[in-house]
Chains A and B, each alone.
Chain A
Amino acid sequence: MSAFLIDLLSALRGNRRAAVGGLILTGYLLMALIGPELIPLDPTMRYAERFRPPSLAHPLGTDYAGRDVLAQIVHGSRDVLAIAALTALFTTTLAVGIGALAGYSGGMVDAFLMLLTNIQLTVPAVPVYLLIGSVFQVRDPVGFAALISLWMWGPLARAVRSQILSLKEREFIEAARVLGLGTAHILLRELFPNLTPFVVIHFIRIMRDAITASVGLIFLGLAPFSPTNWGTMLNLAVFQTGAIYIPNALHYVIAPMAVIVLFQLGAIFFAHGLDEILNPRLRAAA
């Protein structure tokens, strides 16, 4: 694994897109880890100071209640990134598990798991979330991520199954079978390492999608309303407080938008860069 990481880091140095993406994501990680210690958040509402333009005291201006926008973004980053990363972790684990088992086992197991996958892909997410939300209360990022993951794993599970179906016919797997190696060994030692690049790229894409999904769930009432969630900030700015119609409040619309866009850009760059580095066909073409 460490060899893989060393290889990856050296390859990143040679791929500008991946490097830029990695740099952006590292910046976000640092913001979430140490930002809240450096920039305090004062949630007190000061109506008279609402929609103040960017200044030294408030580098990204103030919101509809006179609170510092930068502090909200920094403090929101912890929850937003935690939800994004945990959702990606849960979704990927579930999808890889189901996809690999279906692809490798074939037969009835494959048929049953693909039936589940098809159900997940065809039934709209919102009613399912509403149903689950009426039974379980989401109180923390783990629960939030688990809820999002529950109806997000289908596409990746299908893709993993296809990869496994293709890989398991290859000579090295045939050889492993002839050598009498067990299923666990073949799956964990032979097949999964070949899936790693594919899964890493999807992991980052799921992180990006989780941010969008989390806002929807907040406004469906399935998760607590968090005023520092970037998506919530954007929703408040555009719809609830009408900042989009107020010329001197545009900073409040642009700030959360820019943070989300930059994060997505970083994630896309990093994912594509990784694809170029790790995908043998793309690497050969480069």
Chain B
Amino acid sequence: MSRGSGMMMRWVFTLVALALLLSACAPTPTPPPGPAASPTPVVIEKVVTPTPAPRPREFVLGTGWEVPPAYHGNPFASGGVGGAWWFVFQPLLIYIPATGEAISSLAESFQEAPDRITFRLRQTGWSDGTPFTSKDVWASFVMMKLMWNWPGEVDRVETPDDRTAVIVWKQPLANPKALISSAPILVNMAAYGKFAEEAAKWLGQTGPEAEEALNKVRQEVSNFKPEKPIAIGPFQVESVSASEMILTKNPHHYAAQKIGIDRIRFLRWTSNEVMWAFHLAGELDASHAAAPKDVADQILQRQPQTRLHLVTDLSEFALLFNLRKAPFNDVRFRKAIAYLIDRDKVREVAYFAGLTSAPYSHGVLKSFEEQWLGKDFLSTLTAYNPDPAKAEALLTELGWTKGPDGKWRDPAGRTPEFEILAQAGATDWVLAAEAIATQLNNQGFQVRARAVEPGVYPTTLRGGQFDMAIQFGSAWWGTAHPHTGYGRLYLWEAAEFTGAKDLMKTAKGPQGEDVDIVQALDNLLKEPDLERQKAIVRQLAWITNENLPVLSLLEKRLMIFYMEGVRVTGWPAENDPLWTVAPGAIERFYAHLLIEGVLKPAP
């Protein structure tokens, strides 16, 4: 016997011994009961098959929330409410960006005046049973002002009677309905009235006493942690766990009878990859988890009842330049970079569902270009199509030279290295940074991408510790109006990142005129006439395109995957303008479809 077969025999023996041992340890089978000693009457019982409980008519979505015990129902304290937000809270009206019209929501009707909107409220109730009144509208806006210092445009809320609320603006606004659409009614007087009344005494006052009093109320509000939110929206929170959040119908809601869905089941959205897996398994009815083209194709192929609809996110991805730093402080250098980047190739790799911003970078979203700027105006702008010759001419003008190794050298003869920052975890931004770095490296620059941890990314950009970075450029969230986009580029977040807030207060306009950008933005905000708004927008578009504080890469479009006819049916047609309600608050769109009875349980 060879050594190998001896080993084999030992193994077999061991296995047999183990099997015998295990079988010896098995419990002795109980013998079946023997026949009864005396005959007993046989009772034939009727076998009743229990009727299975009807499957709840549910709608399955993905969202995020704080895991219990951190979860609570105060919308103003950190960690409250989570992704249930737009199902438990509801705005007075819903603004449709595509058409510019507004649909009544918690308000039955409304009347606009230049300085105010008067709302007639619906007869509906909170989930705690209290009726909805104009005082709740007042309390909500006071609380928003107290805790978020927003919306600053609102001067006061008047309550002439229980069912009438009047929102008065500090000054006339270009698009007040969009603002109201993004500000849901959050609290009722019964639970939050004491905070709102105390805050109202001090809001608008200055001085240490007022500040101290307001801080005290803020602290009290932050410490208030009810287990669940009190809902004015169509659903209320039933249960929350680490993996699921269940909402059931708010029985006091005006549309409770009309809503065909019994419950909303939220699966926890920890990352897009998790959502892709849920979609592939047919577990989700809808989500907007951005996916690469091939993943999207897989989802549509494996779940034939899943559809994909692309809707503008009212935002664009952009390459931000650090205007504080040479050589990015020179517009000719920024233009040279723009001529070296093939933005459509970046879109393909980073976010295939986007709309390439090329050849312009004017701050108006691509899908609104025609509406706000028009073809004639666009033809007056510089088009930044990939053109290495133009880039070379600009760089040579700046004193840059190309060495024998094909690398660009600055006027001092150095070959500088640049970095493009992107937020770690933001897949599309990281891929965009890498794609741009590759393109610039192929053209003789030395550029590396760097992914920065999300917690420190905004601080890094605000501190000016970067050369170029991927971030949102123009974004019209909340208003669907170019004012918000230019505000972002010249006054708010993106302006703080690039330095444009301090460095681009004025610029030359299309006719060579001096333009005060802050003043132009203020005029745009107050201007009620659409044609005059367009004139201001064109001026700002020209300045943005010719000065390139950012290079727009693509208009982001939400990738909304939705399953038709499995658990729910009745999704709007692809060309329905209602889809444009989704950006910034997609759950508001879903909730609206349920309230209106558009989305129903599948038969």
Contacts and interface: CB of A to CB of B under 8 A. Distances in A.
Given A47-B345, A64-B431, A241-B292, 6 more contacts: A139-B417, A219-B425, A221-B424, A224-B450, A240-B431, A241-B431
Interface string A107-148: 000000000000000000000001000100001000000000
Interface stretch (A165-173, A203-211, A242-250, A270-278): A242-250
B349 A246 contact: no
Interface of B: 271, 273, 276-277, 280, 291-292, 294-295, 298, 345, 348-349, 417, 419, 421-422, 424-425, 427, 430-431, 433-435, 438-439, 441-442, 448-453, 456-457
A275 B250 CA distance: 69
Interface in A32-47: 43-45, 47
Given A65-B349, A224-B419, A242 B294 contact: yes
Interface of A: 43-45, 47, 50-51, 64-65, 130, 134, 139, 218-221, 223-227, 238-243, 245-247, 249
10 contacts: A43-B438, A43-B441, A64-B292, A65-B349, A130-B453, A130-B456, A221-B457, A225-B430, A226-B448, A246-B295
B349 A224 contact: no
A240 B422 CA distance: 13
B430 A45 contact: no
A239 B271 contact: yes
Nearest to A238: B273
Contact of B424 (A47, A139, A219, A238): A219
Contact of A221 (B295, B431, B442, B453): B453
A225 B430 CA distance: 9
Contact of B349 (A64, A218, A225): A64
Contacts of A239: 271, 273, 427
B510 to A, nearest CB: 36
Q: Does more than half of chain A's interface fall in helix, strand or loop, or is it mixed?
A: loop
A224 B453 contact: no
A222 to B, nearest CB: 8
A223 to B, nearest CB: 8
Given A45-B438, A51-B294, A239-B427, A245 B276 contact: yes
A241 B425 CA distance: 12
Contacts of A241: 292, 427, 431
B29 to A, nearest CB: 47
A247 B295 CA distance: 10
Nearest to A246: B294
A227 B280 CA distance: 28
B419 A44 contact: no
Contacts of B451: 218-221, 225
Interface centre among B276, B421, B449, B450 (most CB of A within 10 A): B450
Contacts of B422: 225
Contact of B430 (A139, A240, A247): A240
Contacts of B417: 139
Contacts of A238: 273
Interface centre among A134, A224, A238 (most CB of B within 10 A): A224
